[in-house]
Structure 1
Amino acid sequence: MSSTPLAPGLNPAPAADLYKHWTPETLRFSDLDRMRHVNNVSTISLYEDGWLRFVDDGEMAVANNIAWRVDYMGIDFRKQLHYRDDLLVGTRLAGVNNGCLRVSHILLRDGAPVGVAERLVTAIDRRTGRPADVPAHILSEALSAAEPDMRAPFMASNKTDWAREFEPKDTYRVWRDDIFRFADMDADERIGRLTQLKLVESGRVGLIQDIGPPTADLNIIWMAAHVSLNFLTWPDLRSSARTGLRIEGFGNSSCHIRHTIFSEGRMIATGGAVVALANRKTLKSVQIPAPLRALLENAPDSNVPPSERYDPAKMFRDQTQG
């Protein structure tokens, strides 16, 4: 278990004027979670929309037999989002990383950055399903925009060896079981990336809730700072999913959680998340107490009875009504 400070997430947000493609986004009431903030996966869906429109608008136009496969996504949550926020998603090519094209996103609210995301994509021949050469004009643009190497805490170092880079499933102590639903399929009739991100989100929230409140002060809460997934293969609709989680290490106020999705014995996607302990009113970070670290490290042995699980939305509601 690491006791040294860990990197919070991706590189600092680049200047907004580097982006030429913009997608305006309108938040919906259904994007809110029980804390009345925009849900993390709903936020990620904004970047997905920006990416698809970036491709559809011809910014990465290729021959009909070429498609783009997303191999990695990393997202930093910089500010909380609220209903009725006016948002813009900027998308651009940002370089080449591990043989993949690097695509950068920025999320703006009233002109100020509130989040960033990165993805690595590979050109795929639709006829064979194998990697294809990136068209020269796109590769040239990516190389001309090259930025410093990505700093991402859970990005696999070698895309051709991802499945062997991470430990086998028996190293995970916390598990969440689920099944795939028809509504989880995307337009390409595959279990979409957002569905997989929902699985790891549910697993992470469950791990945190099952050990009870982080402190006696109800204003001290866990906040997601970063989440990432390396996408390895497509799961089958008729299969089940098992998400394994374990504590990877701690910073002063942050906890790194490794998560991997398995289905029918196969590793589907793997990555991790960084959650930070903070005061919900001031949004300032709070040092993680030693007893809380021990509870997280010992989960699920340290799980509390169901009636004592951590439910911040219910606690705030009960406190207000009381």
Structure 2
Amino acid sequence: MKGFISPSLHPFKSLLLFTLFVMAGMFIGNFLAMLLVKAIWGYGITETANMLARPKDYPESRSALVLFQGVVHLAGFTISSLMFLRVYAHRPADYLSPRSSVPFHLLLGSAVLLLVIMPAASWLVHWNANVDFPAFMEGFERWAREKEDTLRELTLELTKITTIPQLVLGLLVFAILPAVGEELVFRGVIQQELQRWWRNPHLAIWVSAIIFGLIHMQFYGVVPRIMLGVLFGYLYWWSGNILVPIIGHFINNGFMVLMMYLAQRQAVTMDVDSTEPAGVMLSVISLVITAALLYSLYRNFRQQPISPQPEPRF
């Protein structure tokens, strides 16, 4: 079954095929999640839909919603991507990671980068959260704000983490699964196929990052998310190994989950949900260190030996 699709398939057609795999994964994931929620908690389709739309009205349903999110994400992103690569790529591991290994210090540097960039990035978060749309987009602005508030309410309910078991589950569902699944989809497949099609890695990185930002449907945080996707995209291109953006993505999400847990235990005063920018001095230091780390990672990744690249697929 492995690699039975013709190697001459044009990247545009492969992306259409991949979209079908993801849609099928989402459908199957929703179906399986509904069955599990019904079997374990007894919630039907209507009740589950209501819980997703108004989670505050169902405070006892948090575990069911977390399971639902995890199953849908696992099937819709991770499993669908792996199944697509199984039938599309003759060597999925080489397809995803032309450089089969990355030195530990570069993996560590990529992880640290996602932490030190946060104060500088907070200014972009603040600007996007307070952006004003022109008058002719009033209808869109109202819809976007309502969508943002709904997703924010759902996120806050799902991330009420006060115990160690809840923290472990939160790291799995909100850090590990998104890091693996979303990087397989947006960097591993979409960015790669766009690059093979257009022969322009920069354009492929930016377009896949824009899709990554828009698909989350949170327009008052879309610009920071796009820039995060751009960062993951360049780390992937420079390193040639899918593990690098996966680790970066995990550090970004995992730090947020951990801070939410510590804040709810009153161990820290940091509000990770705040859209207020960091102090100017801290942001400047963050920007300088970020620039230095990016340059260092770029230089060091480029000095690593390159494995033979797979042949173009069209």
Task: Report the TM-score, using the length of structure 2 for normalisation.
Answer: 0.27
> Which structure is higher in helix share?
2
> Which structure is higher in strand share?
1
If asked which structure has higher relative contact order (CA below 8 Å, sep 6+), I would say 2
Task: Report the TM-score, using the length of structure 1 for normalisation.
Answer: 0.26
